[in-house]
Amino acid sequence: MEVLGRFLTPPRQSFFLFGPRGTGKTTWLRQALPDALVLDLLQPDLARDLLARPERLRDLVAATPPRTTVVLDEVQRVPDVLSVVHALIEASPRRRFVLTGSSARKLRRGGVDLLAGRAVVRTLHPFMAAELPHFDLQAALTRGLLPLVVASDQPEDVLRAYASLYLDQEVRVEGWARNVGAFARFLEAISFSHGAVLNVANVARECQAERKTTAGYLEVLEDLLLAFRVPVFTRRAKRDTNAHPKFYLFDAGVYRSLRPAGPLDRAQEIEGAALEGLVALHLRAWTAYSTGRNELFYWRTRSGVEVDFILYGASGLWAVEVKNATKVRAEDLRGLTAFGEDYSQATRMLVYRGTRRERRDGVWILPVAEFLRQLRPNAPLWTRP
């Protein structure tokens, strides 16, 4: 597969680069920083050396020219090395360090030196539609947009193995879940919460675990960057709003691989959640790659009126509803209408599976594939024709 350009721009200063396995961090680094010294901490001999003596990093760095960028790949494997990186940045501010990881858990929980703000944080997400020369909506809903899967000749096999890879290499090896079988049951149960308001007690009941244990599993999943929560938008609220966040797995294909499907499951329900998650991925990547601070929310009143996504920040106030349907009914606009009554300055959009673009009662109605293809960082979510 050809190397595709990504929207992530490398900062000029030292930075952390986080992202789940398979998002293409190593490939991106080779493309963006071809002259960097790369130290791969997944290599057992190098990891052992630095675990035993983190200051050995000084010798490796000293052998390179002063302006050489140094990449420490999967830095969470040897978290104590960050103290040495900190000292090297202090001694030579012109040298840039890039510290990649597929998990922030060990770094945060270990209380290690996170460089005291001397390195910014960036995240690499699965592909956005505009990064692909030929974006296929149905393929994205079925197999997702994880570069590891998109590049594979056997994407279904890769997806089936993906959860196992994390269970084996991250959860079991690091000892974050004592019972890997129970964690596997949790993964299946939590897949039913994708695109829904999160109820930890219900998930615990489904996977037959204690609530505290289930909450811990959720934390592991988020620390591995495999899931995220979207909070409720409450700025200057005129109505009582829901208090619980919505939950999403980070990729539609991973969601489909974890979500059981049988004769009692409606295919439309599964695909509807996949579509909502696909839009969530794009909006989350858009906020991460754009300059200026923007945050992703959803809106739901106590009476059940809801808008799937609210974006608020430097780029304005946007409300986005997602419908897995080819036609838009009047009742589909109810949440956006209510939100517009409370927030008249918001730009409101409904994206759907149809092909016609229109404007109805102040709401843009857009084909979802068209909306995703034109979505680019540092550009408005939608540019009025």
Tens digit of each residue's pLDDT (9 = 90 or more) over 185-220: 899 999 999 999 999 999 999 988 899 999 988 988
Which two structure tokens, joined as six digits, stand for 210? 């204690």
Mean pLDDT, residues 339-352: 96
Which two structure tokens, joined as six digits, stand for 141? 């809903």
Nearest-10 crossing angle of helices 180-190, 211-223: 80
Place of tokens 């897995």: 324
- pTM comes to 0.91
Q: Residue 240 half-sphere exposure, CB side, CA atoms within 13 Å? A: 3
Q: Report how far Cα 297 is from the mean position of its chain's Cα atoms.
A: 14
**pLDDT tens sequence across 131-172:** 999 999 999 999 999 999 999 999 999 998 887 777 666 676
Report d(CA 289, CA 344) in Å as an integer.
27
Q: What are phi and psi of 54, to 5 degrees?
A: -55, -30
Spell out the residues 6+ positions from residue 337 whose beta carbon is closer than 8 angstroms to its own.
361, 363
Query: How far apart, in Å, are the Cα atoms of 198 and each of 208, 231, 314, 362?
Result: 17, 10, 28, 31
Spell out the residues 6+ positions from residue 93 whose beta carbon is closer than 8 angstroms to its own.
none
Do residues 214 and 202 make contact, with C-beta atoms less than 8 angstroms apart? no
Q: What are phi and psi of 49, to 5 degrees?
A: -60, -45
- pLDDT score of 237 more than 80: no
Left, alpha or beta for 284 (phi > 0: left; psi -120 to 50: alpha)? alpha
Which two structure tokens, joined as six digits, stand for 152? 């594979």
- Per-residue pLDDT band for 265 (boundaries 50, 70, 90) equals confident
Tell me what pLDDT residue 57 has.
95
Residues linked to residue 143 through DSSP beta bridges, in sequence order = none
Distance between start and end Cα atoms, the chain: 35
Do residues 249 and 191 make contact, with C-beta atoms less than 8 angstroms apart? yes
- Ordered by where they begin, the domains of the chain are 15-124 (3.40.50.300), 130-374 (no CATH)
Q: Which amino acid is at 67?
A: R
Q: Which amino acid is at 179?
A: N
Tell me what pLDDT residue 289 has.
96
Tell me what pLDDT residue 111 has.
45
- Per-residue pLDDT band for 360 (boundaries 50, 70, 90) equals very high
Would strands 347-352 and 363-367 be described as parallel, antiparallel, or unpaired?
parallel
- pLDDT score of 2 more than 70: no
Report d(CA 381, CA 304) in Å as an integer.
26
Q: Helical H runs in 13-104?
A: 25-32, 44-52, 56-62, 81-91
- Count other Cβ atoms within 10 Å, centred on residue 138: 10
Q: What are phi and psi of 237, to 5 degrees?
A: -65, 135
3-state helix, strand, coil in the chain (%, to 5): 45, 20, 40
**pLDDT tens sequence across 8-45:** 999 988 999 999 989 999 899 989 999 999 999 989 99
Q: What are phi and psi of 348, to 5 degrees?
A: -110, 135
Report d(CA 135, CA 163) in Å as an integer.
25
**pLDDT tens sequence across 60-75:** 999 888 878 999 998 8
Do residues 17 and 73 make contact, with C-beta atoms less than 8 angstroms apart? no
Q: Which amino acid is at 374?
A: Q
**pLDDT tens sequence across 274-332:** 999 999 999 999 999 999 899 999 999 988 899 999 999 999 999 999 999 999 999 99
